[in-house]
Each structure stands twice: as structure tokens, then as C-alpha cells.
Amino acid sequence: MSSPTEQARRAVRNATVSRLLSWLAAAIGLGFVIAFLAQAGLFHALLPRQDVPPPPNVEPDRITAGISTVNGIDDGKQPYQVTARRGWQDGKTPNLVHLEDPVGEFRRASGARYTITGTTGLYDTEVKSLNLDGNVVLEQEGRFKARMDKAKIAVKQKTLTADTPVTAQFGSGTVDANGMQITDDGARILFLNGVKARFTAAEAKGDTNP
């Protein structure tokens, strides 16, 4: 017959084994529950959500190029050229070309040459127009120099329109106006809106007629 001490030890061992079996059963049961939730797609829903980082701020695609040059013949059979330090095609309207530091060079039927420059420009390859913006300077050497903020040039017709303040310097004086139009192969210059003219006493040499 077993002694009371051995019976007590046996009871302790049985209790320990029972607890271990209970823990093992609980762990196995929890594993089945997790597997079920994972298969049902609920396990990830119960986990705390992680913030999704915002997409990187990237500029849209832009076609760029180096020095841009456009050559052609105007309606008066005279050559013209438009160059820029850099040019790129518009992303939405393919016939528009953006220009940096554009320079337009034109020639009158008389052979006289004149240039027009600006900070930026927009050239339309379909209608052959050039819109200049920022520090626009139109100059025919020996005749006049005009400054304005913006100008629109119809390249083929060789006409210019400006609807911003203009200051034109001639050999005979200075003209300030709020607009200007140039037509007839550059022979006709019309100042618009609030024209103020200041003339010098003596005319300079060369063609000083507006």
C-alpha cells in the first residue's frame, strides 16, 4: 500500500500534467481560431491599420529640348527665324511650343532687319504665331526701339499687337502709349490709348519716321 507521501506526490504530478494538457489544448484551439479568421479575411481587419504614405509629388511629364530654332518665309517672301535658349512641346496641345529667352529675327522688303525678344514665349506651329511675355523689346537698328510687357506677333503676316503700356524711342523723340499695332511690313506703326509724345529739337540721322 502506498504511503500518504507518495499519494500526495502522485496527485501533484497529475495536477501538473492536467494543467499542461489544458494549456496545450487552449493553444491548439487558438491556432485554429487564428487560421479560421485568416482564411475568412477577418484577421487583418482586427489588426491595427497602418497609415499608407501619400504618393510622391512628381511633376507631370514634360518634353524638353535644347536650343530651339524655327525658320520660315513670311507672306512677303522674306525669311524669318525664331530661336530660344530652350524649348519644349506643350503636354496638352502638341502644336504649342514653350520658349525660354526667345529671339525673333525678321526682315522688311526694303532689306531692313529688326528683332524682338522676351523672357518667355509661346509659338504656335499651326497658325505661325508668337506670343511673348516679360521684358519684350522690339528694335530696328537706326530707326526705333520699343519696350512693353507683352506682344503678339503673326509671323507670316509680320504684324504685331501689344495691349500693354509701350515706350518707343525714335531718333526724334519718345512715345508712350497703352498699346501698339504694327502692320504693312513694319511701315505702319499705330500707338493706341493715352498717347504721349515728346520730341527733341534736332532729329537724329537715319529713318526716324514712326
**pLDDT digit string (tens) for 44-68?**
554 555 565 665 554 444 444 678 8
Q: Are 114 and 122 in contact (CB under 8 A)?
A: no
Q: Quick one: pLDDT at residue 58?
A: 43
Closest CA to 82 of 42, 24, 122: 122
What is the percent of the chain with per-residue pLDDT over 90, rounded to a whole number?
49
Q: Quick one: pLDDT at residue 9?
A: 60
Q: Quick one: pLDDT at residue 155?
A: 93
Residues of the chain with pLDDT under 70: 1-65, 201-210
Q: Quick one: pLDDT at residue 61?
A: 42
Q: Quick one: pLDDT at residue 100?
A: 95
153-157 LR contacts (CB < 8 Å, sep 24+): 153/104, 153/116, 153/129, 154/127, 154/128, 154/129, 155/72, 155/74, 155/80, 155/82, 155/104, 155/128, 155/129, 155/130, 156/72, 156/74, 156/75, 156/128, 157/74, 157/75
Q: Quick one: pLDDT at residue 19?
A: 62
Q: Quick one: pLDDT at residue 53?
A: 60
Q: DSSP state, 19? A: H
Q: Quick one: pLDDT at residue 55?
A: 53
Question: Model-level pTM?
Answer: 0.65
Q: Quick one: pLDDT at residue 179?
A: 95
Cell 479568421, located at residue:
37
SS3 for 40?
helix
